[in-house]
Amino acid sequence: MVIPRLSSLLPCRKWAKSDWLVASIGCVLIVFFLSFFFDPASDSVPSVDRSPTITFPPDLVKLKLSSKAKERGAFCLDGSLPGYHFDKGSGSGSKSWILHLEGGGWCNTIASCSARATTKLGSSKYFEQEVTFEGVLGNDPSQNPGFYNWNRVKIRYCDGASFAGRPEAEFKNETRLFFRGQLIWEAIVDELLLMGMSNAKQAILTGCSAGGLAALIHCDYFRDHLPKDAAVKCVSDGGFFLNVPDVLGDPTMRSFYNDVVNLQGVGKSLDQNRVAKTEPSKRMFPHEFVNNIRTPVFLVNAAYDFWQIQHVLVPASADKDKSWAKCRLKLKECDASQMKVLHGFRSSLMDAIGKFHQSKVGGMFVDSCFSHCQTTKPMTWHSPTSPRIENKTIAESVGDWYFNRKPVKLIDCAYPCNPSCYNMNFT
């Protein structure tokens, strides 16, 4: 491309001072215009559209360490202050709140909690200073139609027990780890109430994975601390963990939860109505208490949840001969006998949610995807390529349920029947 000389762009005549001023301005404008088409670091002229156009950039939301935490004794595993990211609502959403509890597994031994305390899952020292709000926290009305302009909060996860650990368990702890998940939850809720949540007209508590479990554990607490006339509901994403044996018949997940409960004193944070009926470790499984939650609940779950397949059904300890190595990473690699086991896992989920399915106020979206945590990603929450059941995305389904437009009890057929699934491939 040849850049024409300035003289060729203007009439040939003797210029007055005003003409030179106009010409100078014109030159600046030409350089400014051309800078959009040329990369000075490149020998060639690159395309203007170097990446897909983002019409509505996602929020980058700054970290805020809790101001209430220290006085409440609410600390991350390493003793640092917990934190959250808050984006203020606007317009019709100014008195509506959505709280998202971050996930990230659990720690069940002093060693694993000590290791966790040196990461962002156990210490605010390693938190990102800014995070992107997308999916159910997104600010784009085309990607988050129901909740884009609400007050949106992401509560960071740094305790290792689904925001349910208790400090009285720390006397067992010679390395001075802090088991204060319950206090973190309470301190941040108190802080948000002072920031305007006490006047909420609408509110949702949600979370994914360990955060999805936490959303169920703390659902009624959330309801009880908001105005009585507020519409308060809870959405658990990928948090319905199953109490099933692994492929060798061992109770891997139940044993793991037993260790978490005993180490971090989680028992008092769990459903106290079932104390006499079940041991605390069993009460950590949602099917043991979800029907006792007074607040309306919506379950988002993949019937072939990859985290549960890889850690509950086929943990590494149950696959010493590596016969499941490919299948647990990609469903298309599973043989007929393995798929039979996976379909059995799906059947266990159907049995576990059977009574909840009869709830008049509850809702669900259970797809047949090899996925996990589907509400936090635009591609699975609400986009042209999102998973659908009865032609509804997860966002549309949650919206229909929350705003009482229609009952939502969507259960997909078995894999591989749904072509809209976003199936993970770890190979």
Provide the 10 A C-beta neighbour count for residue 193. 16
pLDDT single digits (tens) 50-71: 233 344 667 799 999 999 999 9
Give catalytic residue positions. Answer: 209, 305, 372
Distances (CA, A) of 366 to 32, 53, 238, 347: 53, 32, 10, 12
* Domains of the chain, earliest start first: 59-411 (3.40.50.1820)
Q: Is the pLDDT of residue 36 over 50?
A: no
Q: Could you give phi then psi for residue 152, rounded to 5 degrees? A: -120, 130
Report whether 162 contacts 217 (CB < 8 A). Answer: yes
pLDDT single digits (tens) 237-271: 999 999 999 999 999 999 999 999 999 999 999 98
Element (H, E) at 208: strand 202-208
Task: Give buried/exposed letters for 118-130 (b at 16+ CB in 10 A, else e).
Answer: eebbbbbeebeee
Rounded to an integer, what distance in angstroms lies between the CA atom of residue 86 and that of residue 215?
Answer: 18
Residue 413 confidence (pLDDT): 96
- Using the structure block, give the residue that is written with the tokens 């490919």: 326
Q: Is the pLDDT of residue 118 over 80?
A: yes
**Two structure tokens written together for 286:** 């949602």
Residue 51 confidence (pLDDT): 30
Rounded to an integer, what distance in angstroms lies between the CA atom of residue 221 and that of residue 225?
Answer: 6
> CA quadruple 304, 351, 403, 209: dihedral positive or negative?
negative
pLDDT single digits (tens) 381-415: 999 999 999 999 999 999 999 999 999 999 999 99
Provide the 10 A C-beta neighbour count for residue 268. 13
Instruction: Give residue 235's pLDDT band: very low, low, confident or very high (50, 70, 90).
Output: very high
> CA quadruple 181, 185, 190, 194: dihedral positive or negative?
positive
Rounded to an integer, what distance in angstroms lies between the CA atom of residue 220 and that of residue 268?
Answer: 14
Residue 17 confidence (pLDDT): 37
Rg of the chain, C-alpha, whole Å: 26
Residue 263 confidence (pLDDT): 95
What is the average pLDDT value for the chain, to the nearest integer?
Answer: 87
Distance of CA 81 to the CA centre of its chain: 21
Residue 299 confidence (pLDDT): 98
The closest of 271, 290, 412 to 359, measured between CA atoms, is 290
Q: Is the pLDDT of residue 9 over 60?
A: no
Model confidence, pTM: 0.86
The closest of 122, 110, 111, 109 to 80, measured between CA atoms, is 122
Find the angle CA(398)-CA(402)-CA(406) to the nearest 5 degrees: 85
Q: What is the DSSP letter of 38?
A: -
**Two structure tokens written together for 44:** 């060639």
Residues 6+ apart with CB under 8 A from 309: 328, 342, 345, 370
Report whether 289 contacts 270 (CB < 8 A). Answer: yes
* Span 172-191, average pLDDT: 90
Q: Could you give phi then psi for residue 263, rounded to 5 degrees? A: -70, -45
Q: Is the pLDDT of residue 202 over 50?
A: yes
> CA quadruple 130, 131, 132, 135: dihedral positive or negative?
negative
Instruction: Give residue 127's pLDDT band: very low, low, confident or very high (50, 70, 90).
Output: very high
391 vs 15, which has greater pLDDT?
A: 391
